[in-house]
Structure 1
Amino acid sequence: MDTMNISVEGLNVNTVTKALKSIRGVAGVDVDLSENLAIVTFDETEVNGDVLRRAVMGTKH
C-alpha cells in the first residue's frame, strides 16, 4: 500500500471522497480540513497517482 496527499482546497470534500473511493485500488480516504488535504491510501499495483489526481480535478466545477 502507498499513501498520497492531494490538495482539496476549494472543493466539496464529500464529492472528492466519493470520487476517490469509487476507484479500484483505493483502500481509504481521510480528509484533513485544517490542511485542505485528502490523504489517500491505495494499492500501487492497481492505481497510480495520476489517476487519483485526475479524479480530484474532475470534481471541480
Structure 2
Amino acid sequence: MSRMFETRARLRAEMNEMRKSFDTERVEMNKRLEESLAATTRIEKIFQILMEQSAYRGNNIPLE
C-alpha cells in the first residue's frame, strides 16, 4: 500500500514539474511573440514614413 502512495506522489511531483516547464515555455513564447509584433509595427511605421516621403518628393514607388 505504501508503495502505491509513493508512486502516486512521485507521479504527482513529475506532473507538477512538467506543468512548471510548460508554463515557463509559454511565457517565453509569448514574450518572443510580443517582441516580434513590436518589431513588425516599427517596420510598418518606417515603411509608411518612407512612402510618405517618396510621395512628397513626387517619386512614385510601385509596390509590386
TM category, shorter: under 0.3
Which protein has the larger Cα radius of gyration, Structure 1 or Structure 2? 2
Q: Which has the higher contact order (CA 8 A, sep 6+)?
A: 1
The structure with the greater share of residues assigned to helix is 2
TM-score norm. by structure 1 comes to 0.25
TM-score, normalization by structure 2: 0.24
